[in-house]
Amino acid sequence: MASNCPVEESNTPLLENSPSTILPRDQVDHQDQDLVLRFWIESKKLWQIVGPSIFSRLTSYSMIVITQAFAGHLGDLELAAISIAYNVILGFDFGLLLGMASALETLCGQAFGAKKYYMLGVYMQRSWIVLLMCCVLVLPLFLFASSALKFMGQPSNVAELTGVVAIWIIPLHFSFAFVFPLQRFLQSQVKTAVLAWVSFVALVVHVIVNWLFVYGLKLGVVGTAITLSFSWWVLAFGLLGYTVCGRCPLTWTGFSIEAFFGLWEFIKLSATSGLMLCLENWYYRVLILISGNLRNAEIVLDAMSICMTIIGWEMMIPLAFFAGAGVRVANELGAGNGKGAKFATMVSVVTSLVIGIFFWFIIMIFNYKIALIFSSSEPVLKVVDKLTVLLAFTILLNSVQPVLSGVAVGSGWQSYVAYINLACYYLIGVPLGYLFGWGFQQGVMGVWAGMIFAGTGIQTLILAIITIRCDWEKEAERASAHVKKWAGTN
């Protein structure tokens, strides 16, 4: 999709209505008011998606956080095992399937903007088929987790317990194939309130069942894994029930044989979407794996896992803007409105950045005290305290980067961003992380600083340049052509 946009330069500034200094004062004031009004209108459209999306993502991710908190109070070994299982193994899987499902944000968003409503249901069914096939292909990741972790140098006791947890979260792995496409199907048509309500119900169920399995039935760390799988299937069936029981009459017309046609083209778009987000999501998992090779590995792993969990928790807000920006840009492009897509991009970035600055202050004020949610171990808390500044600046940087990635998804630039992610993260960030961590003897702080500020910082800068230089009117023309192609009307 969008084969030429990242290298084309727009002849218009990002703000179409920026007042010129040579205009009369009353005309400048009028343009300022017009810009404020446009910003307000676009913000309302954006928050219709982002508001419920933040809530649903926070509640869904809180299931993992709650599970990790239960495990953390069982002991340092249990926390390390559950952290690797969720942040590394499940993180790799989560990134892959989430990325592949994000193809729907391009297709469903543009089709909805072009009023090709029936195609949304067909696209979602194709996504189910593709993601289920992918789930089967990556099963070895769970079945041989223990051996793989030992091969990568993880402590034997941590690897063994992680392997046990990995087996018990296989049902959770398959739930992603249904939940992620359902979420994007509903987001694309701004039916986001149901995402919030169903996620809230699943969270309540999760807390109750977690307490029952861990403390009531004394199932320990295995109990936490079982409850997480159970709760995500509650989420899946809730969203599926809403969709197929008549709440989406225009976009869901029943199961269709069309879902089995055009699968190869769909697989290619899903694969590029998956690669784009996987390279990004896996980057943080690599950071945890590298930390496991440092001295005092168990303590370092616990501290890094806590920091990554905090980042992941707060990241649900930028990811909601990722979804909101993707939907708004795709809707405007599908409707042939390039200027509207550009303005939606600006509003999304500015709003998310302001929220990121707020959380930067929160982390700097409370520092290591936030880690008390997950552990009371004094050595772990000391390491977290040293990492607080890096944690705060990572959160600030992540307030912009996911939004720009969402714009890329809404525009169909996934293949370009995949190459950018590969170069910035793995050819620049990882080597610099090793250099700072071992070459300059800075340990986990050096690894993190090298990977985040070099890899993520450069990637964010490149995405910003691409977005600013894009010719949005030509993007709108391409989007209209692609909608016709995928709907089979050309």
- For every residue of 159-170, DSSP letters joined together read HHHHHHHHHHTH
pLDDT at 76 over 80: no
In this structure, of 172-181, 284-293, 317-326, 357-366, the range with the lowest mean pLDDT score is 284-293
Average pLDDT, rounded, for the chain:
81
Please give the model's pTM, rounded to 2 decimal places: 0.73
Domain definitions of the chain by residue range: 37-487
Whole-Å CA distances, 251 to 188, 368, 489: 10, 47, 18
Q: Residue 417: enclosing H or E segment and its boundaries?
A: helix 414-421
d(CA 469, CA 263): 33
- Provide the pLDDT for residue 121: 92
pLDDT at 23 over 50: no
Let me know if 92 is exposed, middle or buried by CB neighbors in 10 A (0-12, 13-18, 19+): middle
Instruction: State the pLDDT confidence band at 106, using cuts at 50, 70 and 90.
Output: confident
pLDDT at 353 over 80: yes
Let me know if 412 is exposed, middle or buried by CB neighbors in 10 A (0-12, 13-18, 19+): buried
The pairs formed by 115-121 with CB atoms below 8 angstroms and a separation of 24 or more are 116/483, 116/487, 117/189, 117/250, 117/251, 118/250, 118/251, 118/253, 119/486, 119/487, 120/185, 120/188, 120/189, 120/251, 120/252, 121/185, 121/248, 121/251, 121/252, 121/253, 121/254, 121/256
- Provide the pLDDT for residue 4: 45
